[in-house]
Chain A
């Protein structure tokens, strides 16, 4: 039983999987479900009705520890031998950090590694200096045509952006320039602390960008190796106080705290919007895309201590997880099953599991022997579908470990990913001064996981709610600020969390 890509057509008769089963000499009965996976999986484990293995569920580390402790999931360390799993062992040998990331505190491993190391190495950066595609998630953009029309330059500081937004609003540029109804101009619209469409990129003028984060939001690793929560810093307070003025002036969309990404895209594609954030201009702005350019991270307001600040904090990449393939205690022959999954740890195989079979999605190799994905035009001509749809039909959820080096040795990345990484490398990373970030594959002890499990959600929710209220209603008074900090540490476990993340990092650092 396991998850499957939402748009997949199922795993029975799946060319790649069938070939792998044949070569491993096993026959697997797939029971797939794509809806509300977590609800069902948990209750079925509780009810004792579960299969030999779960594939593609995405168990959290907390789940793994819990189901590992009670014996539901098998420890696979005894089977990680060159005899049973030659491919995986070779990889783990070469990448001890992957092994470390999936090993529990007590040395046990409850699942096979999975992860996608999409980094700038894929576009030619040296492996040691490569940055994950997720380093800067929000690419801010501005309507250059409107700026030109108003005789303004692309802003480089928050003050300049402020004036530009004001000009957009005062001149009702949506109506004036695109002929939309009067009053439709939205100088700036984003989501609120959202993944690739949040407002966080604009905070860089105050020295931080608190993106949504896989570890815990607002956690910041300083270059001296200590961790802090940026949401209790003075810069954070000043930042919210500053942006409240923008909100009050009507420069930020009133709907920013409630809109869905669909609502954001809808507005942008009508030509209402001056400034927003997304990964690709084309996708967000639709037919107006040609008028937009990236808006670089901005420096802080003049006359303040932030005048020359432009602090973009980067995010870690996506973690190596071990919740994608987990063998349960119902499995009679783990060895056979693991032999099958060992075949997944091969560049060409995992490429086909991720995108589609050779012969369907990959038809050509270039002179370096790299596979080239089907182009949009070929896909339309051959299958009458977009390349994305072809891929969706074949994509298999499971323990796919796509190493950074595959992108330079086995196959080329998708065009969109290359585009995005190029933007990251050429446009965004030059603005990043400090490249430290909290490592996503820190390993926590059982006790630490308990603490995180208990407090993390409450802490993040409390911070986010208060951030929004201050942005909308005006920054905190001294008493409010103090009360907020007290609440975070007394009620929401901030101090305990900080301790946990510091300890885990110290151990991680020591092991490096």
Chain B
């Protein structure tokens, strides 16, 4: 329907000027390379050079001795991590909380924006959007304070509604739900921004035509909006998969109690405590590195699924 207007991969290949040598093409684009200079330089300095420091995961890093002067300890820190009493629990919890988060937090902004986009009362639409987006500004500390209040067995709203007296914060079965549901509450509206902006791109003519065809709202959503959103959604999915193992440490930390650790003990909290609070930089780097490795595996899986489902270009 729209491929005629957009550049598809095939279209652009045809558009590439044939017959020009590589040197010529490089020359043609010198301005673009110049533009790219600044971000490339910054990325090399602040992203790539620090990667050299990852070696502290294999050393007993002492600042006064520098990277190379610090003793090489091989896999010592990794072994130490794997022999810590809660290591497997942390890995399991991190993977599970990440996957469930993705499963729930990913579709909800899409559904919300499809609905909001179809609202015809302009003022109402504005109000909905602004309110949905507001929780994004609440600091984690306050969110967790509110969760405590709402879930409290003595006078908390949820227990009043359910007519129970359960301390959900000490129930390990409830932890993931609390974490994920509050995350959705906080960020679903924020996640809508990008989708609504994409939907704003739909040609109003299409809606007009659909109306003439007597298509219902749901048909319009299905036939016009969803195809429009799909590429962005897939893109977001792949990117979310890249951040899968980055469980927000502060929130978990504030919601953790001694009795829900069976599900709330995660790597991120451990890395923070070891690395930033106790300044065991080598150890925390090693654990962080392991976390990244797991993440990359998960990313490859999601990427595979996503790219099979669509032809969205990521690289």
Q: Chain A residues in contact with chain B, CB under 8 A?
A: 38-39, 42-43, 45-48, 63, 70-72, 184, 186, 192-193, 253-255, 257-260, 263, 267, 272, 454, 458, 461-462, 464-465, 467-469, 472, 487, 491-492
Is A257 touching B276 in the complex (CB atoms < 8 A)? no
> Are B153's CB and A70's CB within 8 A?
no
What residues of B have a CB within 8 angstroms of the CB of A254 in the complex? 153, 165-167
Contact B152 A263 (CB under 8 A): yes
CB within 8 Å of A: which B44-101 residues:
62-65, 80, 83-86
Given contacts A257-B258, A461-B86, 4 further A-B contacts (CB under 8 A): A192-B258, A255-B154, A258-B167, A472-B259
B169 within 8 A of A: yes
Asked whether B257 is an interface residue with its Cβ less than 8 Å from the other chain, the reply is: yes
A492–B154 touching, CB < 8 Å:
no
Q: Count chain B residues whose beta carbon lies closer than 8 angstroms to a beta carbon of A.
A: 26
Q: Do A70 and B62 touch (CB < 8 A)?
A: yes
CA distance A82 to B261 in the complex (A): 54
B277 neighbours in A (Cβ, 8 Å): 38-39
Tell me if B258 and A468 are in contact (CB < 8 A). yes
State the CA gap A400–B148 with chains docked (Å): 38
Among candidates B86, B154, B257, B281, residue contacting A257 with C-beta atoms closer than 8 Å: B257
**B170 interface residue (CB < 8 Å to A):** yes
Q: Chain B residues in contact with chain A, CB under 8 A?
A: 62-65, 80, 83-86, 148, 152-154, 165-167, 169-170, 257-259, 261, 276-277, 279, 281
A-B CB contact pairs (8 Å), 12 listed: A38-B276, A38-B277, A70-B62, A72-B63, A186-B154, A255-B154, A257-B257, A257-B259, A258-B167, A458-B84, A461-B261, A468-B258
Is B148's CB under 8 angstroms from A260's CB? Answer: yes
Least CB separation from A181: chain B residue: B155
- CB neighbours of B83 from chain A (8 A): 491
Which residues of A have CB within 8 Å of B86?
458, 461-462
Q: Which of A46, A186, A272 contacts B279 (CB 8 A)?
A: A46
> How far is it, in angstroms, between the C-alpha of A372 and the C-alpha of B170 when the chains are bound?
48
- CA A193 – CA B258 in complex, angstroms? 10
Rounded to whole Å, the gap between the CB of B276 and the closest CB of chain A is: 5
Chain B residue numbers with a CB within 8 Å of A472 are 170, 259
How far apart are A266's CB and chain B's nearest CB, in angstroms?
Answer: 9
Contact residues in A for B165 (Cβ distance below 8 Å) = 254
- A255 near B258: Cβ-Cβ < 8 Å: no
Min distance, Cβ A230 to any Cβ of chain B, angstroms: 18
Q: Which residue of B lies closest to A63 (CB)?
A: B279
Q: Are A70 and B258 in contact (CB under 8 A)?
A: no
Is A71 a contact partner of B64 (Cβ separation < 8 A)? Answer: yes
Q: How far is the CA of A42 from the CA of B85 in the complex (A)?
A: 26
- Residues of chain B within 8 A (CB-CB) of A72 are 63-64
| Chain A positions within 8 Å of B170 at CB level | 257-258, 468, 472
Bound-state Cα–Cα, A47 to B62, Å: 11
Q: Which of A47, A253, A259, A462 contacts B85 (CB 8 A)?
A: A462
Which single member of B85, B258, B276 contacts A464 (CB below 8 Å)?
Answer: B258
Partner among A42, A259, A263, A465 whose Cβ is within 8 Å of the Cβ of B261 = A465
Query: How close is A497's CB to chain B, nearest CB, in angstroms?
Result: 13
Which residues of A lie under 8 Å from residue B153 when comparing CB positions? 254-255
* Bound CA span A45–B281, Å: 12
A487 proximity list for chain B (CB < 8 A): 85
Nearest first, the 8 closest Cβ-Cβ pairs linking A and B are A42-B279, A491-B85, A46-B63, A258-B169, A70-B64, A258-B257, A257-B170, A468-B258
A77 to chain B, nearest CB (A): 21
Contact B167 A257 (CB under 8 A): yes
Whole-angstrom distance between the alpha carbons of A284 and B130 in the complex?
Answer: 42
Specify which chain B residues have a CB less than 8 angstroms from the CB of A492 in the assembled complex: 85
Q: Closest A residue to B273 by CB, please name it.
A: A457
The smallest beta-carbon distance between A185 and chain B, in angstroms, is 10
How far, in angstroms, from A68 to B231 measured CA to CA in the complex? 57
CA distance A70 to B261 in the complex (A): 37
Chain A nearest CB, measured from B81 CB (Å): 12
Q: Is the beta-carbon distance between B152 and A255 smaller than 8 angstroms?
A: yes
Q: Which residues of A contact B166 (CB under 8 A)?
A: 254
* CB proximity of B279 to chain A, nearest CB, Å: 4
For B261, what are the chain A residues with a Cβ–Cβ distance below 8 Å? 461, 465
Name the contact of A46 in the complex, choosing from B148, B257, B258, B281 (C-beta under 8 A).
B281
Inter-chain contact B85/A39, CB cutoff 8 Å: no
Chain A residues with CB below 8 A from B279, complex form: 38, 42-43, 46, 63
Q: Which residues of B contact A186 (CB under 8 A)?
A: 154
Q: How far is the CB of B70 from chain A (nearest CB, A)?
A: 10
A458 close to B169 (CB less than 8 A)? no
Alpha-carbon distance between A257 and B80 when the two chains are bound, in angstroms? 30
Residues in A whose Cβ lies below 8 Å from that of B276: 38-39, 42-43
> In chain A, what residue has the closest Cβ to B166?
A254
List, in ascending order, chain B residues with CB within 8 A of A48's CB: 63
**Which of A70, A255, A258, A267 has the most chain B CB atoms inside 10 A of its CB?**
A258
Q: Complex formed: what's the CA distance from A45 to B62 in Å?
A: 10
Residues of B within 8 A of A458 (CB): 84-86
Q: Which residues of A contact B64 (CB under 8 A)?
A: 70-72
Chain B residues within 8 Å of A255, by CB: 152-154, 167
CB–CB B152/A465 < 8 A: no
In the complex the two chains form, what is the Cα distance from A468 to B153 in whole Å? 17
Q: How far is the CB of A43 from chain B (nearest CB, A)?
A: 8
How far apart are B179's CB and chain A's nearest CB, in angstroms? 15
Chain A residues positioned under 8 Å from B154 (CB to CB) = 184, 186, 253, 255, 267, 272
**Bound CA span A63–B277, Å:** 12
From B80, B148, B154, name the one whose CB has the most chain A CB atoms within 10 angstroms. Answer: B154
Chain A residues with CB under 8 A of B152: 255, 259, 263
Q: Of all chain B residues, which has the CB nearest A462?
A: B85
CB distance from A51 to the nearest CB of B (A): 16
A454 to B63, CA, bound (A): 20
